[in-house]
Structure 1
Amino acid sequence: MGFENAEDRWRHRLGELRNVVRQELVTRQLDRHLPAAPARVLDAGCGQGTQALRMAERGHDVTGVDTSADLLGLLPPGRVTTVRADLSELPALFPPASFDVVLCHGVLMYFADPGPLLTDLARLVRPGGFLSLLVRNGDALAMRPGLAGDWPATRAAFTADAYTNRLGVRARADRRADLTAALAARGLEVTHWYGVRVFTDPAPDATPVPDDLDALIDCEEIAGRTDPYRAVAALTHLIGGRQEA
């Protein structure tokens, strides 16, 4: 993974508009699918734990796994069970079908080959549970440079499967059809999918949260579940469920 070298830049941007929109939208989208509390939830690559803490506030039993001691240290003690480990260690940490909900947000893009991680994540989902994946939308890589007027980068992005993100890290992008097939091969059916950041992705770094944030989030939430808008969002959020036995 290449995120480690950009961790400080990530931490300094947590309160900026683009990250706030991402977290608020993912929370709303997850709320449509969460089982009754207390469900067992794993946040794989939890980082600073925004979603992990929100799941805990809803009464769920949440475990967060991340390699960064600094990011895990941002979580209030006692709210979430934290494990400092590499995600390659998941099979050794938890037995199969340990969780009702498995979250993996903004992580897959830093793996050159996401297949082994997808296998490990899917293995942990109980029958009737689901995996929530948030990935860079490979079907819309040309949108960000196009809206910025960078035409050489836009032209290249139409056929690209990787990009340099705003943290300066080279990362992969995933196409929804490819991920849907990959999850199906692991026993998970994509039942719902959403776009995240349709309107606000072009916002410059350091853009503050506006006073009308609620109205903004309402519009982003509608766009994120409505065609054709969701298909051109910067991020794609997939819900992959495992059928009851």
Structure 2
Amino acid sequence: MDTMDNHQDTWLSEVLPQGPRRVLDAGCGRGELAAELMRRGHDVTAIDISQEAVEAARAAGVPALRADIACYPGYDDGSLFEVIVMSLSLHHVHPLEAALDRVSALLEKDGLLVVDEFAWDWADRAAAVWFYDTGSLLSAAGVADFPPALEGPGGDPAERWRAAHVDHTPADGMIAALAERFEITSLRREPYLWRYIGGKVTNGSIALLNDLYRIERERISDGTLPSTGFRVTARKV
């Protein structure tokens, strides 16, 4: 569902500085977050390595640029950003160190880095089972486009999960690389599986996503599911 995550929206309202700021959305995807930041009055530059994503963002009214944050070709006006936002993009970035070095170079002193991320390696077997079982049910109900369950030994949910995400950067690696370059001012674990499933929902509702969020949050609170997302704010010092 191509809608702004209202839980992310609430969090950004808490952590972003007041007043118009010069913001880089690094890995803007289809532009939902950049559009929201623009609506709030920020001066936003949005980039993504995917031409398809850039075209979708432009169609949504976001003047996105195709660029790789690791080298940032095609854009450099000599000024720095007050805020850099990376939403669900850092775990895809390779090489991670070069990208974060470039982020540091583009951020002004005392500037704010905001990271919203997927911690695939924090998932355990229970998380994989819940994710695939929920996806299968929604697919059977005709409201999601989820791959069918695998049969035989290769259908083990934990193995299936690992195989699907092994090329993603682990959460601990991202956090360590951030801590080497910035002063981390907050780090909190968050539900993420509901967002992952929500990206595959084709005929659902906000109420459905909110129910998934509530259920996952309750399972995290009672210890039957781990958190598989995290949110960081950090300063360049």
TM-score, structure 2 as length reference: 0.70
Q: 1:89 to 1:34 in 2, by over 3 A?
A: same
Match of 1:104 in 2: 86
Residue 39 (structure 1) shift = 0.4
Gaps of 5+ in 2: 134-149
- The aligned length equals 213
Counterpart of 1:104 in structure 2: which amino acid? M
Query: 2:129 — aligned with what?
Result: 146
- Retained in 2: the 8 A contact 1:25–1:196? no
Query: Matched residue of 1:164: which SS?
Result: helix
Partner amino acid, structure 1, of 2:171: R
Q: Report the alpha carbon displacement of residue 141 of structure 1 after superposing the two structures with TM.
A: 5.1
**In 1, distance between residues paired with 2:29 and 2:74?**
20
Q: Assess, with a 3 A threshold, how the Cα gap between structure 1 residues 215 and 23 changes in structure 2: closer, same or farther.
A: closer
Distance 2:35 2:62 in 1: 7
Distance 1:184 1:201, change over 3 A: closer
Residue of structure 2 equivalent to 1:164: 164
Aligned pair in 2 of structure 1 residues 196, 95: CA closer, same or farther (>3 Å)?
farther
CA distance in 1, matches of 2:193, 2:124: 12
- Pick one of 233, 236, 239 that aligns with 2:233: 239
Flag the structure with more relative contact order, 1 or 2, with Cα contacts below 8 A and sequence separation at least 6: 1
> What RMSD, in angstroms, separates the aligned Cα atoms of the two structures?
3.8
Letter in 1 for 2:114: S
Q: Is the 8 A contact 1:40 1:100 kept in 2?
A: yes
CA distance in 1, matches of 2:85, 2:215: 21
Q: Hey, what does 2:104 align to over in structure 1?
A: 122
- 2-structure distance, mates of 1:74, 1:156: 30
For the 8 Å contact 1:163–1:172, the answer to whether it is kept is no
3-state SS of 2:9 partner = helix
Given the alignment, which residue of 152, 171, 176 partners 1:175?
171
Task: Name the CA distance, whole Å, in 2 between partners of 1:44 and 1:198.
Answer: 22
Relative to the length of structure 1, the TM-score reads 0.68
Paired residue secondary structure (2:72):
helix
Q: Deviations over 1:36-94 (max 9, x none)?
A: 12101101111211110000000100000123333222335795442222223328734
Q: 1:51 aligns with which of 28, 33, 36?
A: 33
Change (3 A) 1:86 1:180: closer
Q: Which residue of 1 aligns with 2:140?
A: none
For residues 212 and 129 of structure 2, what CA distance do their matches in structure 1 show?
23
Deviations 1:84-132 (A, max 9, x none): 2222332873478711211122222223531111221133222332212
